[in-house]
Amino acid sequence: MSQISGYNIPLHQEVISDFIYHIRRHIQSRGLQYEFKVAPEVVLKNEDLKDGYIIPDISVKLRDSTWNQPEMIIEVTRDRSWNSDIKKVRKAIKEVRSLKEVFVFNIEETECWRISKPDFDEEDGNCFSSVLKFDLKNCLRG
């Protein structure tokens, strides 16, 4: 049986796992484990979303909020999906009131892209999360 060449490739899942591991370590080291929660591929179904729902690779929310009210989301992508994932998170941050920032990480080029509120500033190469006070590039260092 040949491998399906899609989002569920092992490298994609490994990178998602690395992000979650390092984000959780950061949260715990700062004593914020009672403030934030992080999880992979949680369905974000929100009345704000015109298309009904999205499934980000990683969601970070305040502990007392629902998974439909994340503070930030991260998409892990490859070259061929780069533009569509940027379009997906750009739409999400405009439509979901609770989102403060979104990231797209290209695992083939090791590059990141970020958009944040309130100004909807878009930045290539800026991996610093204002929500977590943490440079997400640290998640990609093993």
Number of domains in the chain: 1
Report yes or no on 5 lying in a domain.
no
- Secondary structure of residue 77 in the 3-state scheme: strand
**Segments of the chain scoring below 70 in pLDDT:** 1-8, 141-142
Q: What is the pTM of this model?
A: 0.90
pLDDT of residue 141: 66
The whole domain housing 93 covers 10-140
Report yes or no on 3 lying in a domain.
no
Over its C-alpha atoms, the chain yields an Rg (Å, rounded) of: 14
Angle at alpha carbon of residue 45, lines to 40 and 51, rounded to 5°: 115
| CATH, residue 60 | 3.90.1570.20
Query: Would you call 102 exposed, middle or buried from its count of C-beta atoms within 10 A (0-12, 13-18, 19+)?
Result: buried
Q: What is the pLDDT of residues 62-90, one digit of tens each?
A: 999 999 999 999 999 988 889 999 999 99
Report yes or no on 88 lying in a domain.
yes
Report yes or no on 1 lying in a domain.
no
